[in-house]
Structure 1
């Protein structure tokens, strides 16, 4: 499947745009550690949601460009840390068991203290990536398949329950990056989004905030569909500024 013509009918699994940002070839000298990081990113970003199964071992090892032995060692590390479990049988495999901790200001402050760099740096970098992606898509225009996929991702966020909202929201944002066709942009946003998600998961989800975010998501998509780069830039900036303000207020 190419990025220019993704499958439009599915909701965020292996081989689709959001997963492409995470399941990319491992390139560092320490394949084991980077593989653990990639699998953990897939879990925390919701690319493989709680209760869902990772792709078959052969496919995943090929996608990551690693040996099956390295993959098995990485999966074992996740199992030992409580992020996944293996099941045998016809419908067996490696399943995600990770459950994010309950919302907590103290937990968010602890996570922020452990991060490299400041919160401002994180938000500025995220804005540069997401504004760039939206402006690029608006300037280039979408194919019919891309537009269908983007609308499907938008609908998935709108109908998501509060328990599944962060996952669907993450997939929506990663899809915007992946549709640009730039693996570098997609991987950078995936890494940045994982750091932000750790903080967002510690913050309670309010229905009023979700309604506001839904309008902003739609404004981004509509600007891209009508090929309005300036409108796309304004819509993304408004959305990200709102998220940043909520998080700063929560952190105190």
Structure 2
């Protein structure tokens, strides 16, 4: 492993989306050949310290990459986490090819629309119906199982746009969400990410209900950044 590249990639992640960014950093190291096929990742204790995450978070990230076919964990004296000799093949179908520019375009548009929607929702008097709509869709997303999670998650994000009272904004958020979902369908569902998303959803809705516009915008931005990290890791 090249020490310079390793130091650049295995640097502390931001606290807000520790799991997602840890997955992103590890995938970057693998895909760029910083840790080559068949090679072992740094020891768990060392890697957790360098990334600035707990060992629980690191293990969850490694488990996610193992489930996706990138690494395997071996026990014993010479054990550890090793990069698989054969990595998952990128999708080759013409209809599924994606350029970095297309990915960034979708993520940038989503960021502008959804952070703005959260801020605007918190700035408006919601009324009882609006408040009930938000709390109900939040509860449904929080209770969703893996099979139904993406649909319930999409419904909550759309509900935030709906309570702004802007039909144009709601339509735009729906359109970009369809684009985002097509990207999300191409990466694995990672349970720790979903649990983290639920915590962030709660923070966003609480800020909106409290009328804290700046907090709602920041909470939504942090939430979107976690998804962006995973999409860039798997697709860019």
Q: Common fold, TM-score beyond 0.5?
A: yes
Give the 5 Å matches for 1:64-143: 106-107=90-91, 113=97, 118-143=102-127
Q: Any conservation in 2 of the 1:154–1:172 contact (CA below 8 Å)?
A: yes
Q: Could you report, residue by residue, the CA deviation over 1:4-24 in whole angstroms, capped at 9, with x for unpaired residues?
A: xxxxxxxxxxxxxxxxxxxxx
Identify which of 135, 149, 168 aligns with 1:151: 135
TM-score (ref. length: structure 1): 0.55
Note the C-alpha offset of 1:108. 9.3
Of 223-232 and 139-148, the range deviating more from structure 2? 139-148
Note the C-alpha offset of 1:107. 4.1
TM-score (ref. length: structure 2): 0.59
Partner SS for 2:164: coil
Q: Any conservation in 2 of the 1:112–1:119 contact (CA below 8 Å)?
A: no
1:183 and 2:167 aligned: yes
What is the match of residue 205 of structure 1?
189
Question: What count of residue pairs does the alignment treat as equivalent?
Answer: 150
Q: Give ranges in structure 1 of 5+ residues lacking alignment.
A: 1-102
What is the CA–CA distance in structure 2 between the aligned matches of 1:220 and 1:175, rounded to whole Å? 12
Q: Find the structure with the greater CA-based Rg.
A: 2
Q: Could you report, residue by residue, the CA deviation over 1:139-175 in whole angstroms, capped at 9, with x for unpaired residues?
A: 1132111111101101111111101000000111111
What is the CA–CA distance in structure 2 between the aligned matches of 1:109 and 1:195, rounded to whole Å? 18
What is the match of residue 153 of structure 2?
169
Q: Could you say what the CA RMSD is over the residues aligned between the two structures, in angstroms?
A: 2.3
What is the CA–CA distance in structure 2 between the aligned matches of 1:115 and 1:165, rounded to whole Å? 27
What is the match of residue 230 of structure 1?
214
Partner SS for 2:225: helix
Give the 5 Å matches for 1:214-229: 214-229=198-213
Note the C-alpha offset of 1:110. 5.7
Flag the 1:197–1:117 CA change in 2: closer, same or farther, 3 A: same
Partner SS for 2:145: coil
| Structure having the larger proportion of residues in helix | 2
What is the CA–CA distance in structure 2 between the aligned matches of 1:129 and 1:112, rounded to whole Å? 25
Note the C-alpha offset of 1:207. 1.4
What is the match of residue 249 of structure 1?
233
Q: Any conservation in 2 of the 1:105–1:202 contact (CA below 8 Å)?
A: no
Give the 5 Å matches for 1:9-20: none
